[in-house]
Amino acid sequence: MIIEALFPEMCNLFGDVGNMRYLRQCLPDAEFIETAYGEKPAFAEQNVNLLYIGPSTENAQVKMIEALLPYGARLREMIENGTVILATGNAHEIFGRWIEDVRTGRVNGLDLLDFTVRRDMMHRTNGPVLGKFEGMDVLGFRATFTQTFPGENLPAFLQLQKGAGMNPKCKTEGICVGNFFGTYLLGPLLVLNPPFTKELIRRMGGPKEPVLAFETEVEDAYRERLKDFETKVKE
């Protein structure tokens, strides 16, 4: 199994490095490739089981778009053929049509998925988010300056139960096109959500019944947090 993390030196805000660290412990036999900015991505020349991108600063997003533009056709092919791609925090934004900053204007994205992004650096959306994905409870946190406006037919990742959606009028969170998962949820998403992590490993071509690292403790923490979401977090 091959797992590629793109630009980890830039896409590492908000504890999202915890995702790859945890996955290494769950999949000790997998090959992990960290592709630095300026290097040719591994996915360009070989199939990968998971392509992971974490959140970055606004300037880094521009650099990433420039760096990935030459691989646009290959990324489109990967989305269409069902390669698992996980983009956390604001990472999914580079895959859309454009990112429009209210002060500095528009930057074109990779234009691989039908959505646009609006950014306002003076307004931050923070808070816990709880939603359903294929019957599973997925929980996490959002902290962004941006809102995403999906096209009419773009499938969502989560049916929202609590917290903010992709934009103030949206009742869904994230994007799920085949095996492309893009979500505003940031941080150690895979540590916080053992049911989703198992599903992701299955989709990556792993065993039907994956065993997670520290599964007992991770499940305990998940149940306790879910209780908090149900009792303390407002809708």
Partner 1 sequence: MRKPIRFYASVLGAKCMIGLMRLMGRNATNLPGEIALYFFPNLLRYFEMPKTVIAVTGTNGKTTTSNMINTILRENGYDFIDNSFGGNVDTGIASILLSNCTLGGKFKKDLALFEMDERSAPRLLPYLAPDYLVCTNLQRDSMKRNAHTEFIFNILNENIPAKTKLILNGDDLISSRLAEQNSRVYFGLDKLEGEIPTEDNIICDMKNCPKCGRPITYTFRHYNHIGRGYCEHCGFASPAIDFEAKSVSDGVVTILHDGKEEHYSLPNNRITDIYNTTAAVTLARTFGLSEEQVAAAVKKMEVVKSRYDRFEAAGCEVLVTLAKGQNPVACSAMCDFIRKEPGKKAVIMILDDANDARNSTENVAWIYETDFEFLKGDDIKQIVIGGVRCRDYLVRCLVAGIDREKVACTPNEAEVPGLLHLDDIDKILILYDVFNGPALKNICDQLKALPTGGNA
The least CB distance from residue 93 to partner 1, in Å, is 15
| Residue among 170, 38, 154 nearest 97 (CA) | 154
Residue 60 to residues 12, 119, 165, 196, Cα–Cα distance (Å): 11, 15, 24, 28
CA-based R_g, the chain, Å: 17
Gap between the Cα atoms of 182 and 92, Å rounded:
5
Q: Is residue 104 a contact residue for partner 1 (CB under 8 A)?
A: no
Give the residues across from 128 on adjacent strands.
141
Q: Is residue 10 a contact residue for partner 1 (CB under 8 A)?
A: yes
Gap between the Cα atoms of 90 and 184, Å rounded:
6
Number of residues this chain uses to bind partner 1 (CB under 8 A): 42
Q: Is residue 108 a contact residue for partner 1 (CB under 8 A)?
A: no
Contact predicate 117/98, CB 8 Å = yes
Quick one: which of 68, 87, 91, 186 contacts partner 1 (CB under 8 A)?
A: 186
Quick one: which of 28, 29, 45, 59 contacts partner 1 (CB under 8 A)?
A: 59
Give the residues across from 143 on adjacent strands.
126
The least CB distance from residue 134 to partner 1, in Å, is 23
Quick one: which of 15, 178, 195, 210 contacts partner 1 (CB under 8 A)?
A: 15
What order do you get walking across the sheet with 115-119 strand by strand?
105-108, 98-101, 115-119, 146-150
* Phi, psi for 162 (deg, rounded to 5): -140, 150
Quick one: which of 18, 72, 178, 195 contacts partner 1 (CB under 8 A)?
A: 18
Q: Is residue 17 a contact residue for partner 1 (CB under 8 A)?
A: yes
The least CB distance from residue 48 to partner 1, in Å, is 23
Q: Which stretch binds partner 1 (CB under 8 A): 41-49, 72-80, 187-195, 200-208?
A: 187-195
Q: Which is nearer to partner 1, 37 or 98 (CB)?
A: 37
Q: Is residue 141 a contact residue for partner 1 (CB under 8 A)?
A: yes
The least CB distance from residue 99 to partner 1, in Å, is 15
Contact predicate 42/35, CB 8 Å = yes
Q: Which is nearer to partner 1, 33 or 178 (CB)?
A: 33
The DSSP bridge pattern shows strands 31-35 and 2-6 to be parallel
Gap between the Cα atoms of 13 and 10, Å rounded:
8
Q: Which is nearer to partner 1, 47 or 57 (CB)?
A: 57
Which positions lie near partner 1, rule CB under 8 A?
Answer: 9-10, 12-18, 21-22, 25, 36-38, 57-59, 63, 121, 124, 126, 128, 141, 143, 145, 186-188, 191, 213-214, 217-218, 220-221, 224-225, 228-229, 232-233
